[in-house]
Amino acid sequence: MDEQIFQGKRPTNGALMIQVSPMRCIGRRASRQAWYVDIRRSHQLFRSVFSDSVYGGKKASLRAAQAWRDEIFATHPGYTKEGYATQLRPNNTSGVAGVSLYTRSTGTQCWKAVTVVNGRPISRSFRIDLHGYEQAFALAVKERQRQLTLFSNELWRP
């Protein structure tokens, strides 16, 4: 994926535009006179400290922290929203991300496909007593694939 960082300008080369807040991933602790940058990309943590005394003041150390953060963003692309949603979690038992066996309060079991799109969960259940175990699972997998088509190619931002 061709990914670049743009702040305030629209790209003209067709690259994916990423809006970066000036303070994204950057914080300051009262106990030390420094800016802290913490970034997690693809299961890897990037962390650095930018001290006011080393960089010649609060504004200069902030500019250095922002430049370092932007370099990490440019060299280590994040997941797309679809890519993040399709990661298999350690507690997954179905073997398909977003598909799980669910028991309703009535005791009825069903396979359920769930996807969060634009902050809103989309779900659909397929009862085992109506479709059978294998068919209900297959329908849930097919529904999950349909739900994943609702994503645009945006980057996921935790």
Q: pLDDT, tens digit, for every residue of 2-33?
A: 334 444 444 444 444 444 577 878 888 777 89
Output the average pLDDT for the chain.
Answer: 82
> Does residue 9 share a domain with residue 72?
yes
Q: What's the number of domains the chain is made of?
A: 2
Do 69 and 108 lie in one domain? The reply is no
Mean per-residue pLDDT, 113-123: 87
Q: Answer whether residue 1 is part of any domain.
A: yes
State whether 37 and 61 are in the same domain.
Answer: yes
| 90 and 61 in a common domain | no
55 membership: H or E segment, kind and range: helix 52-55
Kindly tell me if the per-residue pLDDT of 98 is higher than 70: yes
Strand order in the sheet with 109-117: 99-103, 109-117, 120-127
Residue 89, pLDDT score: 85
Q: What is the pLDDT of residues 40-72, one digit of tens each?
A: 887 788 999 999 999 999 999 999 999 999 898
Last residue of a domain, one of 78, 105, 121: 78
Q: Mean pLDDT across the stretch 72-77?
A: 84
Boundary-marking domain end, from 61, 78, 95: 78
**30 and 65 within one domain:** yes
The closest alpha carbon to 22, from 71, 76, 75, 69, belongs to: 69
Same domain, 142 and 118: yes
Q: What is the CATH number of the domain that holds 98?
A: 3.30.160
Tokens of 111: 């396979």
Of 48, 78, 108, the position where a domain reaches its end is 78
Q: How confident is the model at residue 74 (pLDDT cuts 50, 70, 90)?
A: confident
How far apart are alpha carbons 6 and 155 in whole angstroms? 14
154 part of a folded domain: no
- Residue 87: predicted pLDDT: 81
> What residues make up the domain containing 140?
82-148
